[in-house]
Structure 1
């Protein structure tokens, strides 16, 4: 019996699949369950998502991007309108926090898509056995 040939998947845009939080291989199945939890596998094509570990990358990129843009808007608003401080506490700071939460999912999807395309894996260290051989500190 001849085993079936593996399906050839076209390379999809990491930006498109990531921003839509879709499977990086087929582009159809959802990547996340809930708000930020990565599924175990794609329900459409069966891709195992065990390779995906974006760690704190999405939070870093979201806070950096929104922080820069938010502070520019904050300063422009402050210098032109000169509102009382309570306006910033009531509106500006919640808007910046909400924007960070809004872009967190797309950043996570994008980073997982990049990991899939670039075949990112945890580092594997290999010892050639030379370091420390013959040392008196055993």
Structure 2
């Protein structure tokens, strides 16, 4: 394939050469030679947030952010970023509960209005769903908050806003 043909192709991963070939928003004749196994530094707050929400290092995505359920690693083994500055405290729990309430409220209202169940049966359906959603959203919320703290230079982190945004 020549350069013009590669440039005109939509987003795809070229497995054979392990390159990312892009068309949208790139410079002329762009072949992004980003190896699939070497993560790039976070260039925008949204990239950092996405990585943090997935439980990866917001800086490089090269390693896991948590070594236990809610215990972040002290330092990234890939990029060397120190994560001991993070102070998420109780905010991830508030975010998790807030999201659970807003996501679960419409189905609960619909269930109560359309199905004739006893209070015990409703609680047997709603409580496990609420607990599961709250616990399931807790780690992504904490990763997101750590990523935001890191990106904006809060609590001892050096600001990353100087990278620009995508």
CA displacement, residues 92-138 of structure 1 (integer Å, 9 cap, x when unaligned): 1111111010011111101101111000026xxxxxxxxxxxxxxxx
The structure with higher relative contact order (CA 8 Å, sep 6+) is 1
Measured in 2, the distance between the counterparts of 1:56 and 1:69 equals 20
> Which residue number in structure 1 is paired with residue 110 of structure 2?
76
Measured in 1, the distance between the counterparts of 2:106 and 2:42 equals 40
Which of 110, 133, 137 matches 1:103? Answer: 137
> Which residue number in structure 1 is paired with residue 74 of structure 2?
40
Cα–Cα, structure 1 residues 72 and 85, in superposed 2: closer, same or farther, change >3 Å? same
Q: Which has the larger radius of gyration?
A: 1
Task: Report the TM-score, using the length of structure 1 for normalisation.
Answer: 0.76
Task: Report the TM-score, using the length of structure 2 for normalisation.
Answer: 0.64
DSSP-derived class of the 2:84 partner = helix
Q: Which runs of 4+ in 1 moved over 6 A?
A: none
Where does structure 2 lack aligned partners over 5 or more consecutive residues? 1-39, 157-166
CA displacement, residues 15-55 of structure 1 (integer Å, 9 cap, x when unaligned): 32112111111111111011111111112111111111111
Q: How many residues align?
A: 115
Range that drifts further, 93-102 or 42-51: 42-51
Which of 39, 45, 48 matches 1:14? Answer: 48
Q: What is the Cα deviation at residue 76 of structure 1?
A: 1.1
CA displacement, residues 51-99 of structure 1 (integer Å, 9 cap, x when unaligned): 1111111100110111122122211100111211121222211111110
Q: What is the Cα deviation at residue 10 of structure 1?
A: 4.4
> Which residue number in structure 1 is paired with residue 62 of structure 2?
28
> Which residue number in structure 1 is paired with residue 37 of structure 2?
none
